[in-house]
Structure 1
Amino acid sequence: MLAGEIAGKTIINALENNDMTLLGQYETRTRRLLGRPLARSLVKRKKLDRYCASNELLQRHLPEVWATFEEYWA
């Protein structure tokens, strides 16, 4: 939802100013807002994929790779 809101505001700004080069601001704004959380999610997802190879590994490490657990955010 946040990326969509940023996209909408960026498009409106570009149209109002009749300057389509302003569309380039979308990536900068999105990375500034979502870059760190998305990077964390990617790291956690790669770990989750490895842990899924074994039920034992998954049960042991699930709290560190699933966002609903406090350990995920540590």
Structure 2
Amino acid sequence: MESALYKHPYEAGKIEGKIEGKTELVIKQLSKKFGLLPPDIRHKISKAEQYQLDLIAEGIFDFKSIDDVLRYLH
């Protein structure tokens, strides 16, 4: 049986990995849609919370410009 001490870091790492993967996917999708993303926008996306990444991923087909993305990155 796995102790709570080892389970907690594992779960934290698992969540962190999911967020990193989601971040990479959102950046790739936005780059494909709008072309090369400016470094400041890439940085904002890399610092985004999971809920922000989810909103961007869900809205990507409706976005007309990169400004639509910025609404979710405060």
TM-score relative to the length of structure 2: 0.40
Structure with greater Cα Rg: 1
Larger relative helix fraction: 1
Query: Structure 1 length normalisation: TM-score?
Result: 0.40
